Chains A and B, each alone.
Chain A
Amino acid sequence: MSRLHITTTVNGDAQEFLCEPGATLLDVLRGPLGLTGSKEGCGSGDCGACTVVLDGEMVCSCLVLAAEAQDRQIATIEGMADGDGLHPLQQKFLEHAALQCGFCTPGFLVAAKALLERNPDPSESEVRYWLAGNLCRCTGYDKIVRAVLAAAADLRQERTVA
């Protein structure tokens, strides 16, 4: 089985790796690339813990083959904070205690960011529907939804001031 040489862009940086033809993007992110923020919950696209953004659209990285990443742009949770400065969503998740074990958190954050980039002022229902593909077994979702709505309000404020 010959390994494939793939060149791609992850969080704005050029990356290259070798992978088996059947390896998933999640396998490669967590393995050779050492980006372990994306989690493997179910491996079947049900839980969203492995959510990343591929060419601008959020996807489950467990359902993308690593070889498909050739010449694509990938954004993961590791690219969300600006150095030591947390993204407003990350800050609000902390303030609202929107996590307990934390396993689902990277996926929720990546998905919520994708929502707020499209819809800066979502309703509670819109947040809940958008995040339906992300499962959390700890929080009961309410704190997550509140944190996303609070981050949206903060980001709108920032935009007005700027």
Chain B
Amino acid sequence: MTTAEFHAPASLENAVRLLGAAGARPLAGGTDLIVQLRSGRAAAPSIVDLKRIPGLSGIRRTADGGFAIGAATPATALLADAALAAAWPGVVEGANLIGSVQVRNRATLAGNLCNASPGADSVPPLIAAGARCRVVGPAGERELAVAEVPAGPGRTTLAPGEIVAEILLPPQTGADAYLRLTPRTEMDIAIVGAGAWLELAADGTCSAARIALGAVAPTALLVEAAGAALVGTTLDDAALAAMSAACQAAARPIDDKRGTAAYRTAMAGVLARRAVLKAAERAATRTKA
């Protein structure tokens, strides 16, 4: 590994300055970056560890009643936060499908997002949740939707030197779910992942919905037509069928060793339907409580 410098700054300002150097890479959990450095797929003359920056490790409540998850917060810490796990179980469960316990004790949402794998398990539930991120960089700070970060496999829309400092989840007004299909139950990568978020009105009709898919396109997809197919319905069979069809129409997967494009397309509809029903069950329970 040809890494000549290691920095562990204690402030975000110093991290941004250090990340301005050519080839500098941020280190959060390291479960993708260190693998890539060791295999020679990536080079990082300088590594900037984000884990010593106060505020970047941990979860805080935001003024609007949502959550801000620091870029260096590991997946298992999300599970340990009872309020977050109750409000956004789909996001928390998605992050905790990644790798093994050893990996989840290090791997972060921001890292999963910025590694930009099409199959990243935490990204579809974040997109379905309407999550945004606080990005900091040489030009200052900005906010953008999680869905706008991935640009293609291994590529993001972030400018050089920019990092995701926090993932921002809105206050929960409905319920969410994430399901993935893998040949094995653990230590595997999604053939399809489906995230669903929806709101139910008092009479049981769906008042808002967002559906996102992973592993069926170069980036995770927000399928607007799938969400629209549910709004105003009681999630009856016809609405669910229209939602599934919209997912299948949006999917443009590849054939690989995990599954064929045709199989992935078919399963995108099936998984999305199951995720919607699971989110609906959670929303109904919440409405009663």
Residues of chain A touching chain B, judged by Cβ–Cβ distance below 8 Å, are 1-2, 4, 20-24, 43-46, 48, 51, 54, 57-60, 62-65, 67-68, 70, 111, 114, 129-130, 132-134
Contacts and interface: CB of A to CB of B under 8 A. Distances in A.
Interface of B: 1-6, 8, 27, 30-31, 34-35, 37-39, 47, 49, 51, 74, 76, 99-103, 105-106, 185-187
B186 A21 contact: no
B31 A45 contact: yes
A108 B144 CA distance: 42
Nearest to B6: A21
Q: Which of A1, A54, A67 has the most CB of B within 10 A?
A: A67
Contacts of A2: 4
A134 B37 CA distance: 22
Contact of B103 (A1, A22, A60, A67): A60
Q: Which 7 A-B pairs have the closest CB atoms?
A: A133-B100, A22-B3, A22-B1, A132-B186, A21-B6, A57-B105, A67-B6
Interface of chain A: mostly helix, strand, loop or mixed:
mixed
A123 to B, nearest CB: 15
Q: Which of A4, A45, A67 has the most CB of B within 10 A?
A: A45
B6 A133 contact: no
Given A45-B31, A63-B34, A133 B103 contact: yes
Contacts of A63: 30-31, 34-35, 103, 106
Contacts of B51: 68
A68 B99 CA distance: 21
Contact of B101 (A23, A44, A64, A133): A133
Contacts of B100: 45, 48, 132-134
Given A62-B34, A65-B6, A65-B49, 15 more contacts: A2-B4, A4-B6, A21-B4, A22-B47, A23-B1, A44-B38, A45-B99, A51-B102, A59-B102, A60-B103, A63-B31, A64-B106, A65-B27, A132-B185, A133-B187
18 contacts: A20-B3, A21-B47, A48-B100, A48-B102, A51-B102, A59-B102, A60-B103, A63-B35, A65-B30, A67-B8, A67-B49, A68-B27, A68-B51, A111-B101, A114-B101, A129-B186, A133-B103, A133-B186
Nearest to B46: A21
Nearest to A58: B102
A130 B101 contact: yes
A41 B8 CA distance: 28
A53 to B, nearest CB: 9
A88 to B, nearest CB: 21
A65 B34 contact: yes
B30 A46 contact: no
